[in-house]
């Protein structure tokens, strides 16, 4: 197949620093790691979507028998786990990776090899947990895995073993990335990039990382207890031994509610980049947008027990968490109004990215309003564990997070690839998603209020839920068609989309001053930042990017790092090897506690780590 061997010259020119699979395995470049995250997360998003489609097909009519109750439990558990930990979080991580260094005017993240490790251990963890499908023993205790229901006593199989270990591996990835990005943002801002000049996406990322490094240790501890209970016979979640049956719920939601904001804040950040560009107005109330991000993150740690109103905590606790939950709606509402204020009076351009951003503003608001309804304990008692809750969190996670992330994909695709995504297909994608999403999730409000419980695998014809479920299932198929169009559009645009220059959208922030795609070193000269929107000031574009022509696609290839005397990290396989070694130890644990394999894995990990820390990042000069 000679045709596949010879790459077209334009592609060769664009991707000149990518040479084959090896360059991806050894890369420490945040832009390539960001792309790895992007494509992996989209693949898992498709897997999670197919799981959802099977669920919806099962529930299309009464007494559905497409899958067994056991399989159904595995499907809804893995749908939630996949979408949260393997689709939305890594999609956000794709943007953290790609954008943070570019937006603060840096050449890479603070610890490039740790960054590669974060990706590889995420890939290993996601493959590990999904390997359970091969033996039809996928986790089946819900993504929240309530103990004691998930202890060995009530859930004896391998299913939840995959979950506790898989979540632990994914947690390593998220935490490592968190320390890395916090350091990057604090320490690698270009001269003049004060905190209050940072692009709002970077602010959202910054706040999210703090939530991650403070919330994930709590999940780690909760899961360690469950792991010890399941593997070593401890009694953390054994009520017969005197354990509190609510311990898991408290620990899990103390992580789980900040997690909700970990999922949504990056999307808020992306939308705060897209709306100003396509309204041709600076973001309305920038400082307030930043303060509201911080306030949301802070209050996010004080609302966890609103997930637990039905467990009988008593009126005092219920009231306190009700009030904090209603309070957190205030900074969130501030953001909605500021986005409206940004668009108000602007000269709007309805590109696909803009449509998705407006989609977030509309749909997240609906999810936000039903969220405030849950904040009232009496109302929540009616809604708990019903489809009303399913409708609510899909409006915030699909209508919010995913809409925002799609906006980000369309908006930043030209920066990532040097090509623009097809707008016609993009608009088909948007409208199918928008319609499909509302058809799927809006009727769930009614099904829920009519008493349809969550997580049931089938229902009877006389329960009055049939029509709502018909509509939901049709909507889910429309969503899936929209998603297929998106995948096709991405594949096609990456190969043959129209080539564009540095700043195709006439966007204001500094990352748009670099070539598309940026050279490995990002900035030939570290930019000097003088304002929040440097590309919209008279002298900004020229002072930032004196080295590059502004506008048209670069004709000549950019100079290499060697020509500019910029030291670059040496490509290395060690992050990948370290991830594999650590995963091996976990495989030993799940495989009947094979101690030699665990020790081998840990020993290999230690050896790779030692050789890693003793090797300098860059060649000595």
Partner 1 sequence: MATIALPDSHADHHYTATGQTHTKIAIWAFIGSECFFFASLISTYLIYKGRSVSGPCPHTVCRGLHPILNIPVTSASTFVLLMSSLSMVLAHSAVVRGDRKYSRIWLATTALLGTTFLGFQAYEFTSFVHEGLKITTNLFGSTFFTLTGFHGAHVTAGVLWLVTMLFVDMKRGLGPRDAINVDVMALYWHFVDVIWVAIFTLVYLIQ
SS3 453: strand
Nearest distance in Å: CB 598, partner 1 = 14
Nearest distance in Å: CB 218, partner 1 = 5
Cα-based angle 389, 205, 374 (whole degrees, multiple of 5): 20
| 244 binds partner 1 per the rule CB under 8 A | yes
- Choose which of 9, 20, 242, 315 interacts with partner 1 (CB under 8 A): 242
| 526 binds partner 1 per the rule CB under 8 A | yes
Instruction: Give the CA count within 13 Å in the CB-facing half-sphere of 612.
Output: 22
Cis peptide before 148 (omega within 30 of 0): yes
Nearest distance in Å: CB 117, partner 1 = 14
DSSP string, 255-285: HHHHHHHHHHHHHHHHHHHHHHHHHTSPPTT
Quick check: 206 and 200 in contact, CB under 8 A?
Answer: no
Nearest distance in Å: CB 194, partner 1 = 9
Q: x-or-dash pattern for partner 1, window 94-133, by CB under 8 A?
A: -------------x--xx----------------------
SS (H, E, C) 83-110: HHHHHHHHHHHHHHHHHHHHHCCCCCCC
Phi, psi values for residue 453, rounded to 5°: -75, 155
- Choose which of 330, 546, 599, 603 interacts with partner 1 (CB under 8 A): 546
Q: What CA–CA distances, in Å, run from 17 to 14, 23, 411, 496?
A: 8, 8, 23, 19
User: What are 65's two structure tokens?
Assistant: 């028998």
User: Looking at beta carbons only, is 345 or 559 nearer to partner 1?
Assistant: 559
Phi, psi values for residue 193, rounded to 5°: -85, 75
Nearest distance in Å: CB 224, partner 1 = 7
Phi, psi values for residue 518, rounded to 5°: -65, 150
User: Looking at beta carbons only, is 234 or 498 nearer to partner 1?
Assistant: 234
| 311 binds partner 1 per the rule CB under 8 A | no
Q: Which stretch binds partner 1 (CB under 8 A): 89-97, 207-215, 267-275, 532-540?
A: 207-215
Quick check: 386 and 449 in contact, CB under 8 A?
Answer: yes
- Choose which of 23, 235, 530, 531 interacts with partner 1 (CB under 8 A): 235
| 496 binds partner 1 per the rule CB under 8 A | no
| 218 binds partner 1 per the rule CB under 8 A | yes
Q: What is the DSSP letter of 151?
A: S
Phi, psi values for residue 499, rounded to 5°: -75, 140
User: Looking at beta carbons only, is 77 or 220 nearer to partner 1?
Assistant: 220
User: What are 501's two structure tokens?
Assistant: 């220059």
| 620 binds partner 1 per the rule CB under 8 A | no
Nearest distance in Å: CB 101, partner 1 = 13
Nearest distance in Å: CB 247, partner 1 = 7
| 490 binds partner 1 per the rule CB under 8 A | no
Residues 250-279 that bind partner 1 (CB under 8 A): 251
Q: x-or-dash pattern for partner 1, window 547-566, by CB under 8 A?
A: x-----------x---xxxx
Q: Which stretch binds partner 1 (CB under 8 A): 90-98, 115-123, 241-249, 502-510?
A: 241-249
| 213 binds partner 1 per the rule CB under 8 A | yes
Nearest distance in Å: CB 617, partner 1 = 10
| 314 binds partner 1 per the rule CB under 8 A | no
Nearest distance in Å: CB 211, partner 1 = 11
User: Looking at beta carbons only, is 435 or 609 nearer to partner 1?
Assistant: 609
User: What are 98's two structure tokens?
Assistant: 């790609």
Q: Which distant-in-sequence residues (6+ apart) come within 8 Å of 174 by Cβ?
A: 89, 93, 118, 122, 212, 216
Nearest distance in Å: CB 191, partner 1 = 7
Q: Which distant-in-sequence residues (6+ apart) come within 8 Å of 610 by Cβ?
A: none
- Choose which of 60, 179, 337, 612 interacts with partner 1 (CB under 8 A): 179
Q: Can you tell me the distance from the alpha carbon of 160 to that of 128, in angstroms, rounded to the nearest whole number?
A: 12
| 193 binds partner 1 per the rule CB under 8 A | yes
| 186 binds partner 1 per the rule CB under 8 A | yes
Quick check: 310 and 377 in contact, CB under 8 A?
Answer: no
Q: x-or-dash pattern for partner 1, window 563-582, by CB under 8 A?
A: xxxxx---------------
User: What are 253's two structure tokens?
Assistant: 């939601």
Residues in the interface with partner 1 (CB under 8 A) total 54
* Residue where the block lists tokens 């991405």: 490
Q: Which residues make beta-bridge pairs with 386?
A: 453
Nearest distance in Å: CB 564, partner 1 = 6
Quick check: 614 and 113 in contact, CB under 8 A?
Answer: no
Residues 598-617 that bind partner 1 (CB under 8 A): 606, 610, 613-614
Interior/surface letters 307-319, b for 16+ CB within 10 angstroms, e for the rest: bbbeeebeeeebe
Q: Which stretch binds partner 1 (CB under 8 A): 47-55, 209-217, 358-366, 459-467?
A: 209-217
Site for partner 1, rule CB under 8 A: 107, 110-111, 175, 178-180, 182-183, 186-189, 191, 193, 213-218, 220-222, 224-225, 228, 232-236, 240-244, 247, 251, 524-526, 546-547, 559, 563-567, 606, 610, 613-614
């Amino acid at each position: 197949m000679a045709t596949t061997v010879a790459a077209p010259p334009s592609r060769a020119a664009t991707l000149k620093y990518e040479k084959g699979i090896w360059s991806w395995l050894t890369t420490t470049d945040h832009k390539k790691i960001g792309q790895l995250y992007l494509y992996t997360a989209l693949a898992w998003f498709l897997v999670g979507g197919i799981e959802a489609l099977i669920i919806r097909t099962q529930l299309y009519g009464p007494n559905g028998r497409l899958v067994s109750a056991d399989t159904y439990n595995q499907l809804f558990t893995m749908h939630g786990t996949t979408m949260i930990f393997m689709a939305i979080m890594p999609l956000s991580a794709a943007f953290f990776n790609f954008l943070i260094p570019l937006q603060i005017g840096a050449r890479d993240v603070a610890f490039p090899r740790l960054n590669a490790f974060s990706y590889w251990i995420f890939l290993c963890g996601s493959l590990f947990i999904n390997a359970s499908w091969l033996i039809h023993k996928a986790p089946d205790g819900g993504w929240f895995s309530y103990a004691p229901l998930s202890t060995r006593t009530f859930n004896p199989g391998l299913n939840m073993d995959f979950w506790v270990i898989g979540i632990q591996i994914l947690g390593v990835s998220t935490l490592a990335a968190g320390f890395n990005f916090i350091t990057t943002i604090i320490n690698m801002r270009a001269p003049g990039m004060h905190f209050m000049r940072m692009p709002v996406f970077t602010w959202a990322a910054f706040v999210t990382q703090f939530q991650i490094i403070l919330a994930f240790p709590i999940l780690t501890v909760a899961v360690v207890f469950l792991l010890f209970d399941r593997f070593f016979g401890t009694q953390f979640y054994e009520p017969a031994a005197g354990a509190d049956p609510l311990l898991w719920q408290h620990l899990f939601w103390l992580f789980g509610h900040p997690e909700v904001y970990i999922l949504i804040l990056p999307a808020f950040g992306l939308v705060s980049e897209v709306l100003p560009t396509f309204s041709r107005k600076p973001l309305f109330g920038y400082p307030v947008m930043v303060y509201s991000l911080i306030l949301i993150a802070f209050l996010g740690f004080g609302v966890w027990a609103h997930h637990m109103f039905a467990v009988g905590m008593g009126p005092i606790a219920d009231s306190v968490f009700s009030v904090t939950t209603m309070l957190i709606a205030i900074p969130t509402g501030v953001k909605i109004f500021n986005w409206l204020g940004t668009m108000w009076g602007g000269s709007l351009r309805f590109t696909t990215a803009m449509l998705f951003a407006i989609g977030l503003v509309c749909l997240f608001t609906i999810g936000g309003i039903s969220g405030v309804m849950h904040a009232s304990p009496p109302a929540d008692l009616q809604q708990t564990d019903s489809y009303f809750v399913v409708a609510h969190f899909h409006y915030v996670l699909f209508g919010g997070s995913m809409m925002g992330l799609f906006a980000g994909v369309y908006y930043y695709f030209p920066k990532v690839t040097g090509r623009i995504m097809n707008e016609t297909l993009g608009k088909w994608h948007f409208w199918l998603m928008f319609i499909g999403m509302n058809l799927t999730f809006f009727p769930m409000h009614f099904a829920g209020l009519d008493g349809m419980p969550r997580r049931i695998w089938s229902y009877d014809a006389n329960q009055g839920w049939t029509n709502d479920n018909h509509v939901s299932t049709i909507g889910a198929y429309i969503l899936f068609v929209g998603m297929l169009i998106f995948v096709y559009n991405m594949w096609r645009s990456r190969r043959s989309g129209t080539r564009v220059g540095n700043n195709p959208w006439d966007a204001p922030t500094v990352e748009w001053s670099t070539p598309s795609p940026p050279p490995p070193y990002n900035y030939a000269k570290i930019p000097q930042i003088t304002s929040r929107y440097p590309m919209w000031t008279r002298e900004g574009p020229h002072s930032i990017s004196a080295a590059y022509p502004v506008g048209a696609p670069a004709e000549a290839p950019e100079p290499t790092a060697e020509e500019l005397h910029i030291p670059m990290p040496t490509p290395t396989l060690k992050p990948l090897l370290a991830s594999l070694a650590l995963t091996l130890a976990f495989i030993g644990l799940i495989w009947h506690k094979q101690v030699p394999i665990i020790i081998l894995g840990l020993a290999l990990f230690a050896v790779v780590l030692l050789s890693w820390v003793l090797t300098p990042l860059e060649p000595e000069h």
